[in-house]
Amino acid sequence: MRQFGETALLEPLQALGKQILALLPNVLAMVIILSAGWAAAWLVGLLVQRLLRVIGFDRICDRLGVTAAMTRGGVKSDLSDLIGRGVYWGVLIFAAVAALSVLNLQPIKEFAHSFLAYIPHLLMSALILLIGYLLSNFVSQAVLIAAVNAGFPLARLVAAASRWGVQIVAIAMALEQLGIARNIVALGFGITLGGVVLAAAIAFGLGAKDLAKEFLEGRLSRSQKSAVQDDLRHL
């Protein structure tokens, strides 16, 4: 009975204990890396936040309309705070993954590698979305002003369409970066855009021939229809 207890219980426990003892240095290393990582994350996050404040990053974001967009989305913190916090969590997650890989356990190692390999794609897609948003603002504002100055009655519609066009392209590119339904997104985007262009061509070319003719005549000869020609020399 005693021998049974020693064989069935003690020996596995001893083996487990040995494994744990063998793992202890790795666990200790993990804790040290995690602690150092947490400290580094806090410091780097704080430095980034302060640096962005010093260079006036929040003022630039005000001018670019990013702050206004965030406020509309319910985010009230300054962008420098958010980026600081983002950097903090980024460094911390990186430290956590590095700490876990020190344990030398195969499944964890593989997870860590694929997670780290995915981070650049995450960052790139975030950058694409941000650039796409800023570009859509710029393009729609330029289109709106040009359309109003040209006297185009549907100026706001055209500006909104240009904004959505740029943002949809940016979203499609971001999804492609993330590897989410790549083929579906590319195909869907191509089909939709092609369909819109084809529909417009058919509508103006065939289905609304007379309307297109009237529209173009009215648009191109707007100044001629006026009773009085404008001879102003502005300079």
Partner 1 sequence: MEDPTLLTPETEGLVQEIGTSDVLVGIPSYNNADTIGHVVRAVSAGLAKYFPSSRAVLVNSDGGSSDRTPEVVRQSIVDFGAMLISDRQSPLHKIITPYHGIPGKGSAFRTIFEIARRLQARACAVVDSDLRSITPEWIELLIRPILHEGYDYVAPYYLRHKYDGTITNSIVYPLTRCLYGYRIRQPIGGDFGFSGRLAGYYLDKHVWESDVARFGIDIWMTTEAVASGARVCQSFLGAKIHNPKDPAADLSAMLVQVAGALFSLMEEHEAVWSTIEGSAPVKLFGFQYEVGVEPVHVNVDTMVASFRQGLADLEPIWRQMLAPETLEALFPLRDCPLQAFHIADELWAHLIFDAAVAYRRYVMPREHLLKALTPLYLGRTASFVLETQGLTSMEAEGRIETLCQTFEKLKPYLIARWNPREKDRNAVEPTSLAEPELSA
Total chain residues near partner 1 (CB under 8 A): 24
Q: What's the min distance (Å) between Cβ of 165 and partner 1?
A: 19
Q: Does 232 bind partner 1 (CB under 8 A)?
A: yes
- Residue (3 or 226) nearer to partner 1, CB: 226
Q: Is the dihedral of CA 98, 99, 102, 106 positive or negative?
A: negative
Q: Does 229 bind partner 1 (CB under 8 A)?
A: yes
How many other C-beta atoms lie within 10 A of the C-beta of residue 49?
A: 21
Q: Give the distance from CA 85 to its chain's centroid.
A: 17
Q: Does 141 bind partner 1 (CB under 8 A)?
A: yes
> What is the spatial distance between Cα 161 and Cα 143, in angstroms, rounded to a whole number?
10
Q: Which stretch binds partner 1 (CB under 8 A): 15-23, 48-56, 142-150, 210-218?
A: 142-150
> What is the spatial distance between Cα 232 and Cα 235, in angstroms, rounded to a whole number?
9
Please, is 55 exposed, middle or buried when counting C-beta atoms within 10 Å of its C-beta (0-12, 13-18, 19+)? exposed
| Interface map 189-228 toward partner 1 (x if CB under 8 A) | ----------------------------------x--x-x
- Residue (83 or 147) nearer to partner 1, CB: 147
Q: Which stretch binds partner 1 (CB under 8 A): 13-21, 29-37, 84-92, 136-144?
A: 136-144
Q: Is the dihedral of CA 120, 122, 123, 128 positive or negative?
A: positive
Q: Does 72 bind partner 1 (CB under 8 A)?
A: no
65: DSSP letter: T
Pair 66, 134: CB distance under 8 Å: yes
Binding test (CB under 8 A) with partner 1, winner from 38, 94, 111, 138: 138
Using CB under 8 A as the criterion, which residues of the chain lie in contact with partner 1 when the complex forms?
Answer: 63, 138, 141-142, 144-149, 151, 153, 155-156, 223, 226, 228-235
